[in-house]
Amino acid sequence: MTAPEPERVLIRRITPFAVPAAVVAYVCGALIAGAAAGWSAAIAIVIVYVNFVVNALSIAWAASISPTLVSVVALGGYVMRLIVFTLALVLLNQLEWFSPVAFALALVPSVIGLLVYEARLLSGRMQADLWTFDGAGRP
């Protein structure tokens, strides 16, 4: 029996927190600045979660192919996250009700919190222990 991919383990561990985090973001935003701010904050949480899942699945796919592709996908995923966050902010800012401040105030802590949680789950493990590659080590 092989161990599950660490990215899929992370997805399984993070997923139960996605909806409660969006609800908390909505409630905090709504209490402080109204329903529009609440929705803006909740949207930020959804975008962070979806980006995390897509990135994790991309790295899991890359890990099934080669270590080099893992590096390429990880770096590309970082750049894509920045692009997606920026595009979301610019596009959503076109909506009359959207609050960019609430969006940013939810997005930044949720990204940091997600990264800290991810680092804690993987701490103490060597990078080489996280993935296995078919045919690796064979002459």
- What pLDDT sits at residue 1? 46
Q: What domain range includes position 57?
A: 6-123
Position 130 in a domain = no
Position 26 in a domain = yes
- What pLDDT sits at residue 64? 86
Position 133 in a domain = no
Position 135 in a domain = no
Position 139 in a domain = no
- What pLDDT sits at residue 137? 55
Helix (H, G, I), strand (E, B) or coil at 105: helix
The CA distances from residue 111 to 31, 68, 106, 133, in Å, are 22, 25, 9, 29
Position 77 in a domain = yes
Position 1 in a domain = no
Report residues of the chain scoring pLDDT below 70: 1-4, 124-139
How many angstroms separate the CA atoms of 60 and 113, rounded? 21
Note the pLDDT tens digit of each residue in 66-86.
888 988 998 998 899 999 999
What is the 3 state secondary structure string of 52-69?
HHHHHHHHHHHHCCCHHH
Total domain count for the chain?
Answer: 1
